[in-house]
Amino acid sequence: MNNVITRLKTKTVGLIALAITICFTAIACSGGGSTQATPGISPEVAVDYVHTVLLADRTAYTKHVVNRLKKLEGKDKADGVIPAEATEGWEEAGGVPLPAQMFRLGSEVAAETADEKGIGFTYNLISTWNINDSHAPKSEFEKKAMEEVNKTGEPYKEYQEIGGQKYFSALYPDKAVSEACVTCHNTHPVHLERFPDKVFKMDDVMGGIIINLPITES
Ligand code: HEC
């Protein structure tokens, strides 16, 4: 099990590093002032690449790891084949992380790598119906973007400035792609206490993946 997680994590970080390289090469090239047309990738497209990788790994982990376990957050899973549990307290329980925790673990590794490279690139999960307080939409940008994504089910993209640094930011819908997403959230004690009227269905927008690409203007 640990091998699977390590492999998934290594793959995620590798692909994100590749996407960042493409993105920053593109930005560097586009500011070159050369008379020749240089091939480049716009931030709108670069952020789509990053999101494609993040969503692919998130979905693959939920479908092919979490969904095959015999236990999900204390409840037996009838069609589970791996004798392990996905649970919030995975470290103490000897289990595996929940999809959102796996996503955060990856984002922490990516943030460290981005720091080492001096490129302040970040991503995170947010939701109007958050279980974890740190996932509430906080900035004006996040609040507006989350509202739009909940309404349209489509990504929301815009430039923003944080502490004097310009970013191209995008919020992509995080949808209920597997029955496990819906069951676990709808029955979670914090969800039931905070949002008793919100019952998720398959394919609903459950939150969003926010990606912030720093833009260097030359
Ligand atoms: C077995 C339970 C479980 C499963 C399965 C699960 N989640 Fe979660 N999810 C949680 C918990 C608990 C949190 C908060 C955990 C944390 O971040 O510490 C969370 C966090 C989230 C968040 C961030 C907002 C928040 O509530 O804090 C989103 C969005 C989300 N999940 C969507 C999904 C989607 C989409 C799926 C399926 C791909 C999924 N979840 C599968 C339990 C689950």
Per-residue pLDDT of 180-200, as tens digits, reads 889 899 999 999 999 999 999
From the alpha carbon of 104, which atom of ligand 1 is closest?
Answer: 17
In this predicted structure, what is the pLDDT of residue 142? 97
The residue nearest atom 8 of ligand 1, judged by CA position, is 100
Q: Is the CB of 184 under 6 A from ligand 1?
A: yes
Whole-model pTM: value is 0.84
The residue nearest atom 35 of ligand 1, judged by CA position, is 176
Q: 3-state class of 149 per DSSP?
A: helix
Consecutive 10-residue runs of the chain (218 residues): their mean pLDDT? 52 48 44 57 94 95 93 92 96 96 96 90 96 96 97 97 92 91 93 98 97 86
The residue nearest atom 40 of ligand 1, judged by CA position, is 181
Residue % of the chain over a pLDDT of 90: 70
Q: What are phi and psi of 32, to 5 degrees?
A: -70, -20
H or E element in which residue 47 lies = helix 43-64
